[in-house]
Amino acid sequence: MKQLLRFALCTALVLAVFGCKESAPATPADQSTPEAPETPKVASLEIDPLTDPLVVGKDYIQMFSDTLGVQMYLMTMKPGDSVGLHVHPDHTVYVLEGGKLMLYLDGTETMEMELPTGAGFVSGPLTDAATNIGDTEIQLIISEIYRPRE
């Protein structure tokens, strides 16, 4: 049995060594590698510092990371807490502790949201304000993504 196992391992090793020595197909000398297209110049989303979520909601935010064009933070809102009008770039939200929130989209349209614990969503840029209208503390992990835009 040991000899059979040794033979199988040696055979596999020999096949692997010779199988790996296969050369890549040759490229004809007259065929050149095409150049990559020029990357178009795009601007990133401009956000007024006065409407930055980290400025407007600073009393409710604990910063985790701010690197590579991504800001990740914990936002904690007790019942009755409000965050004034602010602008989000592309962003993600994960609901660590759920509750009931009143959103004021673009400062005018209202939308009541029940945020269940464990829910998450991804959103493009938007302007909003929010009030915790429930009777529980809401905790959200938010990532603001500052990426180039056309």
Evaluate whether residue 89 is within a structural domain. yes
What pLDDT is recorded for position 96? Answer: 98
**Structural domain harbouring 100:** 46-149
Q: What's the average model confidence in pLDDT over 35-56? A: 66
What is the percent of the chain where pLDDT is above 70? Answer: 68
Cβ count within 10 A of residue 42: 9
Evaluate whether residue 33 is within a structural domain. no
What is the percent of the chain where pLDDT is above 90? Answer: 57
Q: What is the mean pLDDT of the chain?
A: 80
> If you write DSSP's letter for every residue of 21-54 in order, what string do you get?
TPPPPPPPTT-PPPPPPPPPP-EEPP--GGG-HH
pTM score, whole prediction: 0.68
Evaluate whether residue 84 is within a structural domain. yes
Evaluate whether residue 37 is within a structural domain. no
Q: Is the pLDDT of residue 42 over 50?
A: no
- Number of domains observed in the structure of the chain: 1
> If you write DSSP's letter for every residue of 51-99 in order, what string do you get?
G-HHHHTGGGEEEEEEETTEEEEEEEE-TT-EEEEEEE-EEEEEEEE-E
